[in-house]
Amino acid sequence: MKLLFAQGNPGRQYARTRHNTGFIALDAVAEAHGGTWRNQDKFRADIAEISVEGEKVLLVKPLSFYNETGQVARALVDFYKLTPSEDVLVIHDELALPFGTIRVRQKGSDAGNNGIKSLNAHLGQDYARIRIGVWNERRNLMDDADFVLSAFSAEEAKQLNTLVTDTLVPLIEQFVQGTLETTSVKPTPKP
């Protein structure tokens, strides 16, 4: 079994914000694979179960806030007896990357991301992650918290949906198959 864990914040007011890029991505994966979200109070998460290449995959959107997600991940890893380095993939926004850039890493530090800091405190650093760039020129006009809690523009939301379908879903399938490699994918320039 594999665990796909998204970083984000619960609540409608955060639904389409940059910090919820992980949630947006998993919503698309659930839809593509016929997954249905169910609230699981004992794990403090919304969870959808899907199958990819015959492998059971849990999609997880924690109901804790972004900076406190480590406890949710730890409870799931312990309950299902998973090995983070083999079975866990975290999907999150990355303020340091230009919008639409995707970076895949097999492990690493938190690089200043408080949600990843929480995960590292509870799981260690040895788990795969997909970082999705959210930076744009508006970032220079506001502080980090305001920027990551701001909504995507209509054009960015459209591009993000395409990015998830064309690039992210195949990367997730590679993770499930055990063939995901460290990589960086830059956005295609607009014509």
Measured in Å, how far apart are the chain's first and last C-alpha atoms? 41
Catalytic residue among 19, 33, 92, 122: 19
| Alpha carbon separation from 129 to 1, 190, 191 (Å, rounded) | 17, 27, 30
Which residues make Cβ contacts (< 8 Å) with residue 145, sequence separation at least 6? none
d(CA 191, CA 78): 48
**Does residue 19 have an active-site annotation?**
yes
The strand pair at 88-98 and 38-40 is best described as: unpaired
d(CA 97, CA 181): 19
Active-site residue set: 19
